[in-house]
Amino acid sequence: MTLLDLSEDEVVEIRSLPADANMARRMSSLGLFAGRRIRFVKAAPFAGPLLVEDQATGARLMIARAMAGEVEVTRGRTPKP
Amino acid sequence: MAARRSPDELVVALTGQPNCGKSTLFNAVAGFRVDTGNFAGTTVSYAETALRFEGRDIRLIDLPGIYSISSFDPAERVARDFLLSGEVDVVVNVVDASILSRSLELTLQLIEMKIPMVLCLNMMDEAQHKGVLIDLERLATLAGVPARSTVAVLGTGIDAVFAAATKMSRTAYQPRDPCYDRDVEDCIAGILARYPEALRQALPVPERFVTLRLLEMDQEFERRASQVDAEFVRSVQQDRRRLATLHGWPESGVLASHRHALVLDLYEQVATHHRGAIAGMREKIDRIITNPVGGLLTVVLSLLLTFSLAFFLGDLVAKLVDQPFAALRTAIQALPPSLAVALLSGLVEGVVAGAGIVLPYLVPLLLLLAVYEDAGLLPRIAFMVDGLLHRVGLHGKSVVPLSLGFGCNVPAIMATRNLENPRDRLITMLVIPFVTCSARSVVILALAGKYLGGMTAAALYLFGLGVAMAVSFAVSRSKQHKALGLIMEVPPLRRPYPTIVMKKVWLRLREFIVVAWPVILVSSVLLSAASYVGIDRPVNAALSPLTTTVLRLPEVTGIALFLGVFRKELALVMLATALGTTEFDLVLSQSQILVLVIFTMLYIPCIATLAALFKEGGLKTCFTSAALNFGVAVLLAGAVAQVARFFA
């Protein structure tokens, strides 16, 4: 399941970031990384980006669809490594 | 960047993540005494100011906002290299206290650089509203750096930050390195034990810092270190792979994951949560703005407000500005013609033109934009229109520069600095000159509005917008797309503060005054001199193939179009002179007026815009833009002229 498969207000946990190292690094420096819980706020019109909220900080980010499709998420909590 | 004024001048660099309030803090200290510039050989800009604090000279530098110190973003690279250059005495790390757990990521990376540092927790009020209480002393102790709290928008706590910074420069700095997991630390110790002497010489930065960069797969550090000792870098890569397999993380993220854990641990030790009271009202407004209907309504309304303010109020102010000069103009015209009088009149026209653009059109636009920006409206507008702009090869972040372009293209070109991706920046820079600025609006209104009707004028305005979008589409197709993909922070809605808004407006206005106005003045004087000497004949003859054959206009329009390059609205004035009348419909047919307006709207950006393009994008961008505009103008205006033949 990726970020694209969520419905509004759903809270999920990030499992893995995109394979592209630079993309992953950019996301991770913005607070999105494996284990982080985020809420899918809503999607922009005209197939625009997604708005997500980092549950730890309340910070909101908009993510392009192409990027969001590569972020694997899960509904349940994964045990901490 | 200015050199140190004295050996004991303290160089303090402000650094922090975007939207942390770093620049607000900088502006609060600097007031209106700000110098801006680009780091040598880059388009990454900084601002600096000089101040005295407790008898000590301080040079304060505002570095670009960065999320981390990796190498793939030009701003991050430049900021990091500057911090490591040895020019900085103290770094003040500004963090948004309301999102502390994320902000500390950069803080840890900065600590690893081992530059004397002060941690400045900004937006402490926001954090409290959110229900987050931060134990400053404990944070300072755990992080090993002094920590102070500020609310930059209110100007509180800033003195304490500078007091800590000056004190920092007097005491020996003994940072404590953030301590990672046992496996990682063992790995680092192993690498440090075999750290080559040659690398130590070649890269005069802390060895542990270099080691961590290599473990983080920082491409630039790998490249630099490989040049010195490729064998060493290969061995570090092996260590990195081993750590990655051990922990089950991707190789590029193994160190980052450990740092996340470190930050989370630190955060949990210093922060306590209560129930926040903030959400209510703001959340409600935010829900409306980011809702498709409410959002698009907000976009349309804010654009409408901006334009009506700029055009109706602006028009009023423009007349007021023009009036005092009218008498001066008449007086000058009454003088016996001579070169001196021509030069004087050119100078006056230049001053009037500058004031006629700046005061009425630019100030309202900049003012509203600053308000939208500080309120946090712009990222939301970007969010709403990103999908649409994507279809023409732009994205949400281009909204600001493009909308500024309706006032004047010059500050719009400068505003493209907020686009970190060079490709997006180039496309936006090439599209901006197609956005109908206020000077060209004057031409549309005076020619099309008067002789072809208001509907035609409005249609031409939309036509201009369509051309801009079409150009964007075409240009973006020709430029290979390898962007990272947009990921952008959407900061919470905030109340704009008038003093901060005014400072922002002034700083941007100053850019226009410094770059565009001198160009307008000089070209205005030259122009006046040239027409006095009588260069119109040869120019008309030279341009005749274009004007008479392609555009089917009278030959005398050549000089007006030529001079319009200096200032677009000048084409209109010169046209009146060239045709010997201001009743254009007596000498031009309706289709000729239409062709003239379309051509003036599109052909070659004005000289001040070209100067801005050159400054921001280099010679090639400047030429490409001129050629692109000229080509499109000839094509479209020419087509209209040729089609009109059959209906004449």
Of chain A residues 26-55, which have a CB less than 8 A from chain B? 26-31, 33-35, 41-42, 44-49, 51, 54
Whole-number CA gyration radius for chain A: 12
Task: Please indicate, yes or no, whether residues B160 and B187 belong to a single structural domain of this protein.
Answer: no
Virtual CA dihedral for B155, B156, B158, B164, nearest 10 degrees? 180
Most confident of A48-57, B276-285, B476-485: A48-57
Q: Would B1 be classed as within a structural domain?
A: no
**Residue B477 above 60 pLDDT?**
yes
Task: Please indicate, yes or no, whether residues B49 and B166 belong to a single structural domain of this protein.
Answer: yes
B326-341 pLDDT tens trace: 788 788 878 888 888 8
Task: Please indicate, yes or no, whether residues B238 and B311 belong to a single structural domain of this protein.
Answer: no
Task: Please indicate, yes or no, whether residues B307 and B413 belong to a single structural domain of this protein.
Answer: yes
Whether B252 sits inside 8 A of A57 (CB atoms) is: no
Q: What is the predicted pLDDT for the residue at B282? A: 75
- Rounded to whole angstroms, the Cα distance separating A20 from A22 reads 6
Tell me the H-state helices in B154-253: 158-170, 182-193, 197-202, 207-215, 219-247
Other beta carbons within 10 angstroms of residue B471's beta carbon come to 21
B622 Cα to chain A: minimum distance (Å): 31
Q: What is the predicted pLDDT for the residue at B227? A: 94
Asked whether the beta carbons of B58 and B162 are under 8 A apart, the reply is: yes
Q: Is the Cβ of B336 closer than 8 Å to some Cβ of chain A? A: no
Q: Which of A26, A35, A48 sits opposite B487 (nearest CB)?
A: A26
**Torsion region of A9: left, alpha or beta (phi above 0 gives left; psi -120 to 50 gives alpha):** left
The torsion angles phi and psi of B225, rounded to 5 degrees, stand at -70, -35
B509-527 pLDDT tens trace: 887 787 777 877 887 788 7
**Residue B42 above 80 pLDDT?**
no
The residues pairing with B95 across neighbouring beta strands, listed in sequence order, are: B121
Task: Please indicate, yes or no, whether residues B235 and B102 belong to a single structural domain of this protein.
Answer: no
Task: Please indicate, yes or no, whether residues B159 and B233 belong to a single structural domain of this protein.
Answer: no
**B65: which 2 tokens?**
């906002």
What is the overall mean pLDDT for chain B?
A: 85
Task: Please indicate, yes or no, whether residues B93 and B230 belong to a single structural domain of this protein.
Answer: no
B439-474 pLDDT tens trace: 787 788 778 877 888 788 888 888 998 999 999 998
Task: Please indicate, yes or no, whether residues B149 and B223 belong to a single structural domain of this protein.
Answer: no
Q: What is the mean pLDDT of residues B221-233?
A: 93
- Rounded to whole angstroms, the Cα distance separating A66 from A73 reads 15
Q: Is the Cβ of B260 closer than 8 Å to some Cβ of chain A? A: yes
Other beta carbons within 10 angstroms of residue B54's beta carbon come to 10
Q: Is the Cβ of B387 closer than 8 Å to some Cβ of chain A? A: yes
Q: Which amino acid is at B140?
A: A
B586-612 pLDDT tens trace: 888 889 999 999 999 998 888 889 988
Task: Please indicate, yes or no, whether residues B42 and B85 belong to a single structural domain of this protein.
Answer: yes
More confident residue, B40 or B27: B27
A67 Cα to chain B: minimum distance (Å): 6
- Rounded to whole angstroms, the Cα distance separating B222 from B459 reads 56
* Distance from chain centroid for Cα A74: 10
Q: What is the predicted pLDDT for the residue at A81? A: 45
Q: Which of B253, B256, B387 sits opposite A48 (nearest CB)?
A: B387
Q: Is the Cβ of B383 closer than 8 Å to some Cβ of chain A? A: yes
Percentage with pLDDT > 70 across chain B: 94
The torsion angles phi and psi of B49, rounded to 5 degrees, stand at -150, 155
Q: What is the mean pLDDT of residues B249-273?
A: 89
Which residues constitute the domain of residue B54?
10-170
**B323: which 2 tokens?**
């009036």
Q: Order across the sheet with A11-16: list the strands.
A: A72-74, A11-16, A37-43, A50-54, A60-63, B487-490
Q: Would B28 be classed as within a structural domain?
A: yes
Q: Would B271 be classed as within a structural domain?
A: no
Q: Would B286 be classed as within a structural domain?
A: no
- Rounded to whole angstroms, the Cα distance separating B232 from B215 reads 12
Domain edge (last residue) among B202, B224, B253? B253
Which residues of B are less than 8 Å from A31 in CB distance?
99, 101-102, 105
Q: Which of B73, B248, B384 sits opposite A45 (nearest CB)?
A: B384
Both ends of chain B: CA-CA distance in Å? 62
Q: What is the predicted pLDDT for the residue at B358? A: 61
Q: Would B284 be classed as within a structural domain?
A: no
User: Parallel, antiparallel, or unpaired for β B56-62 and A11-16?
Assistant: unpaired
Q: Three-state DSSP class for A60? A: strand
CATH number, domain with residue B19: 3.40.50.300
Q: What is the DSSP string of B585-642?
A: HHHS-HHHHHHHHHHHHHSS--HHHHHHHHHHHHHHHHHHHHHHHHHHHHHHHHHHHH
Length of chain B: 648
Task: Please indicate, yes or no, whether residues B85 and B209 belong to a single structural domain of this protein.
Answer: no
The structural domain count of chain B equals: 3
Whether A23 sits inside 8 A of B485 (CB atoms) is: yes
Q: Could you tell me the residue ranges of all domains in chain A?
A: 3-74
The residues pairing with B151 across neighbouring beta strands, listed in sequence order, are: B156
The residues pairing with B61 across neighbouring beta strands, listed in sequence order, are: B13, B48
Q: What is the ipTM of this complex?
A: 0.90
**B542: which 2 tokens?**
């030279």
Whether A46 sits inside 8 A of B490 (CB atoms) is: no
Residue B327, classified by CB atoms within 10 Å of its CB into exposed (0-12), middle (13-18) or buried (19+), is exposed
We find that the CATH architecture of domain A3-74 is Roll (2.30)
Asked whether the beta carbons of B464 and B501 are under 8 A apart, the reply is: no
Q: Three-state DSSP class for B337? A: coil
To probe the interface with A, which of B386, B390, B494 has the most A CB atoms within 10 Å? B386
- Rounded to whole angstroms, the Cα distance separating A63 from B387 reads 11
A57 Cα to chain B: minimum distance (Å): 5
Q: Which amino acid is at A30?
A: L
B156-204 pLDDT tens trace: 999 999 999 999 888 877 778 888 989 999 999 999 999 999 999 998 8
Task: Please indicate, yes or no, whether residues B190 and B164 belong to a single structural domain of this protein.
Answer: no
Asked whether the beta carbons of B630 and B603 are under 8 A apart, the reply is: yes
Residue B419, classified by CB atoms within 10 Å of its CB into exposed (0-12), middle (13-18) or buried (19+), is buried
Q: Is the Cβ of A80 closer than 8 Å to some Cβ of chain B? A: no
Whether A57 sits inside 8 A of B250 (CB atoms) is: no
What is the CA angle B93-B98-B100, rounded to 5?
Answer: 50
The torsion angles phi and psi of B341, rounded to 5 degrees, stand at -65, -40
Domain edge (last residue) among B112, B140, B170? B170
To probe the interface with B, which of A13, A15, A16, A25 has the most B CB atoms within 10 Å? A25
Q: What is the mean pLDDT of residues B296-304?
A: 78
Task: Please indicate, yes or no, whether residues B195 and B61 belong to a single structural domain of this protein.
Answer: no
